[in-house]
Amino acid sequence: MQATARARSNIALVKYWGKRDAALNLPAVGSISITLDQLWSDTHVQFDEALTKDDLLLDGHRQEQQSMRVTACLDILRELAGTKLRARIESANNFPTAAGLASSASGFAALVAAADAALDLQLGPRELSIIARRGSGSAARSIFGGFVEMHVGVERDGTDSYAEPLLDRQDWPLHVLVAITARGRKEISSGSGMTQSASTSPYFEAWVKTHPADLDAARQAIFARDFDHLADVSEQSCFKMHAAAIATDPPLLYWNGVTVDCIHAVRALRRRGVPVFFTNDAGPQIKAICEASAVNEVQAVLADIPGVLEVLQTGLGPGVEIR
Ligand code: PMV
C-alpha cells in the first residue's frame, strides 16, 4: 500500500485567479499552462494502519496547515477505495518552495497519483485532475505534460472542471528560464490572495469577463505555433491578473524591483526580435518563455540583471509518472 510519483511544476500562460466555489476549489476562470521538465515534486505515499491521522513531511518538515488540503484529497481516494487507512506522505521539491514556483501544483498532482497507485484504484488522468484540483487549482494541470488547458466548468459539483492536454511538448519544444529574484516563502498564498481579490478588487469583474477571449487566443496561437500571438496574450493575461491583484484591498504586490527589471529586459529583447516573453505568478520570480534558438541570449541577459540570484533552465515536461 505504497507508491511514489513524480509530477512537474507548471506555469500558466493564461492565468487562473479567483474561485467560483471555495469548498470544492472550483476556478472562476479557465487557464492554459505549460508543464516544466526540470522542476518537480517526488511524493511517496504509504497507507499504514498504525497511523491515527495523515502525516505530511514536506522537504523533511512536518506540515500542519497543508495537511488539511492533503487530507481532503486523500479522503476522496479513501472513499473510492473503501478504506479508512491514514497515510504517511513524504514530498520533496527540487526547487524553491512557495516562492511563486507552483510547488503546490506539482506536489498535489504527485500526491494524488501516488495515492491512487498505492490504493490500486487505477483512476484515469481526468479523474486524477479533478481530485488534484481539490488540493490546488493549478495541480489539476500538472497531471498532464506539454501544453494544458484547465476548463472552468459549469457544474456545481465540479465534474466538468478538469484539465486536459492541448499539444504535446515535442510538437512545440519551447524553453523556460526562471529568474529567481528572492528566496523564502511568499507572504500571501495564491489561494487567499485570489479570494481577497475576488471580494475587494474593482478590476476582478473585468478580469473574469475578458478571460474567455484570452483562452481562445492562446489556444489558437498554440495550435498554430504562433509565438508572437502567444507572447502577446500571455503577457496581457499576466498583467491583467496582477492589475486585479494590486487593486485588491489590502493590495497584493507580488513583485520586487528586480522582478520589474526582468520584465523590462524580456520585453526589450522581444522588441529586438528575440522570441521571448515573460510570465509571473503570485511571487517575485520571472519566467521567460522562449524558442530554443534564444535560450543562451535570454539566459545571459537575465543572469546579468543586478539582484537576479539564479537562473534555472528547463524544457517542457511530461505528465505525472509513477516511479
Ligand atoms: O493553484 P493555486 O491555488 O496555487 O493558484 C495558482 C495561481 C497562479 O499561479 C497565480 C496562476 C496559475 O494559473 O497558476
| Sequential pLDDT tens for the chain (323 residues) | 999 999 999 999 999 999 999 999 999 999 999 999 999 999 999 999 999 999 999 888 888 766 788 999 999 999 999 999 999 999 999 986 545 566 789 999 999 999 999 999 999 999 999 999 999 999 999 999 999 999 999 999 999 999 999 999 999 999 999 999 998 776 788 999 999 999 999 999 999 999 999 999 999 999 999 999 999 999 999 999 999 999 999 999 999 999 999 999 999 999 999 999 999 999 999 999 999 999 999 999 999 999 999 999 999 999 999 99
CATH architecture of 2-168: 2-Layer Sandwich (3.30)
Q: State the fold for domain 175-315.
A: Alpha-Beta Plaits (3.30.70)
The answer to whether the CB of 281 is under 6 A from ligand 1 is yes
Fold: same for 2-168 and 175-315: no
Domain coordinates in residue numbering, the chain:
2-168, 175-315
Q: What pLDDT shows up at residue 101? A: 66
84 C-alpha to ligand 1 centroid (Å): 31
Separation of alpha carbons 9 and 98, rounded Å? 12
Determine the distance separating the centroid of ligand 1 and the alpha carbon of 221, expressed in angstroms.
Answer: 22
Q: Which residues on neighbouring strands pair with residue 35, listed in sequence order?
A: 10
- Tell me how far the alpha carbon of residue 136 lies from the centroid of ligand 1, in angstroms: 8
Q: What pLDDT is stored for residue 189 in this prediction? A: 87
Residue 43 Cβ contacting ligand 1 at under 6 Å: no
Q: What is the pLDDT of residue 65?
A: 67
Give residue 97's pLDDT. Answer: 57
Q: Is the CB of 191 under 6 A from ligand 1?
A: yes
Q: What is the best residue among 190, 204, 242, 248 to mutate for testing ligand 1's pocket, by most ligand atoms within 8 Å of CB? A: 190
Expressed in angstroms and rounded, the spacing between residue 189 Cα and the centre of ligand 1 is 9
Beta partners for 176?
A: 289, 314
> What is the whole-number distance in angstroms between the Cα of residue 83 and the centre of ligand 1?
31
Supply the pLDDT for residue 98.
45
Closest residue by Cα to atom 4, ligand 1, is 190
Q: 302 CA distance to ligand 1 centroid (A)?
A: 24
